[in-house]
């Protein structure tokens, strides 16, 4: 259980990339009064958490309704993760998730797609399980990641000032490298599962 929790926690941490999203949060909240920023951070993190939790529990029904298989979702999700990882390693002018709107953010772009983006949604859909124990592990891992979000984004401005832009960039590229390996592993797992069905 510990290993499953740790693996789930690390994977969710990588796909939601809170440290890499620090500049996005700082930019999105720069025109918002300082006293209101913590409330917005908590709200956006809560929205992202609830959306991911919803997909985690109803992912199986979602797949059935769209007539999708676990294998196709695993392969598709791995490709999305790989693209995100490549943009983390080789920075794009618009950032990992593209351009964001100015002003007070609501749902977009902080909750979606910064935290609960396509890669994160595809990842939690893979967590659907009939085992109560596994479900509890996944929910606990998501909750732990949610706490990390709050800790990082509530101190985003301070963190960026203390570590500096270069350190934040280096950390994001390291996370991109790890995510690349995990996405390839997920892709190979999907291909192996597909070959067994032939």
**Residue-range domain boundaries for the chain:** 2-193
Q: What does the alpha-carbon distance between residue 3 and residue 102 come to, in Å, rounded to a whole number?
A: 41
Q: What does the alpha-carbon distance between residue 174 and residue 34 come to, in Å, rounded to a whole number?
A: 31
* Per-residue tens of pLDDT for the chain, all 198 residues: 555 899 899 999 988 989 878 877 877 787 788 889 999 999 999 999 999 999 888 877 877 888 877 788 778 777 877 887 787 788 766 655 455 454 577 887 788 878 987 778 878 887 766 678 888 999 999 999 999 999 999 998 887 788 887 887 787 788 778 778 878 887 898 899 889 988
């Amino acid at each position: 259980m510990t290993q499953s929790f740790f693996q789930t926690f690390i994977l969710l941490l990588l796909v939601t990339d809170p440290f890499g999203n620090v500049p996005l949060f700082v930019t999105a909240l720069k025109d918002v009064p300082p006293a209101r920023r913590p409330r917005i951070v908590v709200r956006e993190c809560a929205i992202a958490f609830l959306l991911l939790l919803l997909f985690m529990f109803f992912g199986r029904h979602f797949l059935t309704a769209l007539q999708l298989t676990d294998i196709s979702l695993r392969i598709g999700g791995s490709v999305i993760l790989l693209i995100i990882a490549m943009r983390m390693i080789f920075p794009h002018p618009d950032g990992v998730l593209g351009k964001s709107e100015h002003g007070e953010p609501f749902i977009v772009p902080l909750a979606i797609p910064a935290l609960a983006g396509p890669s994160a949604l595809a990842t939690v859909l893979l967590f659907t399980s009939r085992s109560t124990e596994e479900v509890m592990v996944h929910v606990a891992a998501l909750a732990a990641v949610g706490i990390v979000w709050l800790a990082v984004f509530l101190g985003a401005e301070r963190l960026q000032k203390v570590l500096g832009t270069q350190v934040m960039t280096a950390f994001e590229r390291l996370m991109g490298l790890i995510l690349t390996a995990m996405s390839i592993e997920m892709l190979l797992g999907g291909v192996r599962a597909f070959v067994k069905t032939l």
